[in-house]
Amino acid sequence: MQMTDVQLCLAIGIPTFAVLAGILMNAVYHSNVNARFNSQDARFNSMEGRIHSLENRFDARFNNLEVKFDTLIGKVIDLDNRVTRIEAKLDIR
């Protein structure tokens, strides 16, 4: 029994169409996944910028506290030197 031309076209055409439809669906799916990854990258970049800004603010505040602490230590050292000189003059130990 031989296939007619229509049967031959259907036997070759339907699987070929199914494969092409599958390839198209995969391309669309991969495009959507890629778009979601790009969206996540943008969100991470935004968070990275916020964290960097926060780090800069903390660094500035810490440096300010460090300067104030150094000033306070200097004052304590000056006070200790004065007390030591007063003790020396009064011969107190």
Whole-number Å distance between alpha carbons of 76 and 81: 9
Single pTM value for the model: 0.50
Residue 1 has pLDDT above 70, yes or no: no
- By C-alpha distance, which of 91, 70, 88 is closest to 80? 88
Mean pLDDT of 86-93: 88
Residue 1 per-residue DSSP state: -
Mean pLDDT of 80-91: 94
The 10s digit of each residue's pLDDT in 22-67 is: 999 999 999 999 999 999 999 999 999 999 999 999 999 999 999 9
Mean pLDDT of 67-79: 97
Q: Is the dihedral of CA 60, 66, 72, 77 positive or negative?
A: negative
Chain center to CA of 6: 60
